[in-house]
Chain A
Amino acid sequence: MKSKISTWKVVVYLLLVIFALFSILPFYWMITTSFKTPAESITVPPTWIPRTVSLSSYKTVLTKISFPRYMYISFITAILTIAGSLLTALLAAYAFSWIQFKGRDVIFMGFLSLMMVPMPVYIIPLFLVVQRLGWLDTLQVMIVPWTVSIFSIFLLRQNMRTIPKDLYDAAVIDGCSRLRFLFQIIVPLIRPAITTMVIFEFISSWNTFMWPLMVINKDRLRPIQVGLAYFAQGETTNYPALMAASTLAIFPLVILFFIAQRQIIESYARTGLKE
């Protein structure tokens, strides 16, 4: 009996390790290739551990191509998108959970059905709209259309609904306005939900690709993913430089992931959101 259990455990760990290697391998290969010299990167058979650790591909990516610029654009875009969608979501979620008025549920249903329309369905007319506004090749074109996340509104609404109603009555007696009540009393109470929202928004904003690919042409306005995509289209032989560029493109997210790992995984598990 005892030995049977341990055989089972061996099988379990073996399977877990095999798939862990499958998950890790591309990252391992990305990082080790990025440190190789171009000559070493194409040896057959390949080397598992770089013979020489060379930083020159990082130097190439950081100086010859405007990678720092791309990252800066992505950061600015992400921060402003988060700020905008946090504001719209807080206000809307508050209206949906704390203010009783006629037509509220109809509007709510409208939001719900809008959430079901995938972005590719309307991306081409959206392009025409921003073109008409003269927004092509601007910073705001990457920000303003995405400052409302219906998912975030729902997330915050679910959390606001759990707050007892008496709180508001007490606040009103103390002469608290609706806005002050929202920002000074509700916001601190739903901070975990706000953190979840900010994490999701950052990840999706940092990784966004199709939209900026369509609306941004100028190199100096390219966000990181588009910059990387164009770099990869042009550069087809310098593999260490390509891998260094990819490493840099996922670096902020990996750092964020290791800092807030538990929170991120639990956020995904709780809300079941898919990018």
Chain B
Amino acid sequence: MQSSRREILYGLLFLLPAIVILLVFKVLPILLAFNISFHEWGIAGDKGFVGLQNYKFLLKDRYFWQALWNTVMYTVFSVPLSILIALLLAYLLNQNIKAVGFFRTVYFLPVVTSLVAVSVVWKWLYNPQRGLFNAILSFFHLSPLKWLEEPRGIFEMITGRDLPFFLEGPSLALFALVILSVWKSLGYNIVIFIAGLKNISETYYEAARIDGAGRWQIIKDVMLPLLSPTTFYVLIMTTISSFQVFAPVWMMTGPPTGGPLGKTSVVIYYLYRKGYEEYQVGYGSAIAFVFFVIILIITIYQRKVSEKRVYYEV
């Protein structure tokens, strides 16, 4: 089709509302963020261009590194846990069982609820004195835990030793947030995995069965490779959203510092504190850009890995 002048006019006219709003409320702020990150801009207003000063300060800011480390720990634990459990449950739900709809509904319910409300509920469950979880522990004659108030790393608590910080694992406080995140995201991941499993033709399984493959062999050599595009997709989505965790930290462990000894302070929480609460706009924008670069690197890296490993059905 020839693109006539009339068509161009119509096309732009129809796109105009979306473009204007995106320019003002997304493109402009993104450009501003980049620009402001090179400015000293605090409560006193814009003090002008300072080059890389904010970024240099960021490299030495141990609270930023702590927040980044916590975010990585949070992601490294919540993503695989959520994926493994979701995969297991999706597989089980795919076994011609009764009441599939019922189970699916139950697992999915947390997905539609608000993080703020469920944070209030989980904080109550985790309450060290009156919470349900400690009541259950004491029912089994186990000693109560401090949950969200516990700064010690989980591996440190299990082994009872002083470990170097990178072996401590996430603090129990952070791990409590991991459990909440697994609970919240499980249903979504299950539904995506079920859709993925439904896409695998029954003939593959039959062929494997005729060849005498057992249940585990079929899972390992037929189902998982064929499911890998779905797994990869879930991995990316869950990782990226894990990196953006904010509401549960604010609701359950902050303010002001983000958990006991800052053990649950995560990148977006730190960004919010610096850039908004303390109104260090320049510094906050530098944090925002470092965060953006990290997200981009994850996306690119995962793409690269997936091109090599992920099996695509032909």
CA distance A245 to B247 in the complex (A): 17
- Docked-complex contact A148 and B285, CB < 8 angstroms: no
Q: A148-B18, A254-B113 are in contact. Are A120 and B268 (CB under 8 A)?
A: yes
CA distance A239 to B135 in the complex (A): 16
- Docked-complex contact B18 and A121, CB < 8 angstroms: no
Whether B107 is near chain A, meaning CB under 8 Å from some CB there, is: yes
Main SS at interface, chain B:
helix
- Docked-complex contact A232 and B11, CB < 8 angstroms: no
Instruction: Return the contact of B27 from the options A100, A107, A114, A256 (Cβ within 8 A).
Output: A114
* Residues of chain A within 8 A of B121, CB atoms compared: 26-27, 29-30, 243, 246
Instruction: Return the contact of B116 from the options A92, A100, A103, A229 (Cβ within 8 A).
Output: A229
* Residues of chain A within 8 A of B241, CB atoms compared: 274-275
- Docked-complex contact B25 and A129, CB < 8 angstroms: yes
Main SS at interface, chain A:
helix
Complex: chain B residue closest to A133, CB-CB: B24
- Docked-complex contact B21 and A88, CB < 8 angstroms: yes
Whether A269 is near chain B, meaning CB under 8 Å from some CB there, is: yes
* Residues of chain B within 8 A of A58, CB atoms compared: none
Most interface-central of A101, A102, A261, A272 (chain B CB within 10 A): A101
B120 to chain A minimum Cβ distance, whole angstroms, is 5
Chain B interface residues toward A at CB < 8 A: 1, 3, 7-8, 10-12, 14-15, 17-19, 21-22, 24-30, 32-33, 36, 85, 88-89, 92-93, 95, 97, 103-118, 120-125, 129-130, 132, 135, 138-139, 183, 186-188, 191-192, 194-195, 233, 237-238, 240-241, 244, 246-247, 250-251, 268, 271-272, 275-276, 281, 284-285, 288-289, 291-292, 295-296, 299
Chain A interface residues toward B at CB < 8 A: 9, 12-13, 15-16, 19-20, 22-27, 29-30, 33, 41-42, 44-46, 87-89, 91-92, 94-96, 99-104, 107, 111, 114, 116-129, 144-145, 147-148, 150, 153, 178, 203, 206-207, 209-210, 213-214, 224-225, 228-229, 232, 239, 242-243, 245-247, 249-250, 253-254, 256-257, 261, 264-265, 268-270, 272, 274-275
The 7 closest A-B pairs by CB, nearest first: A125-B32, A122-B29, A95-B14, A101-B11, A145-B25, A125-B29, A207-B114
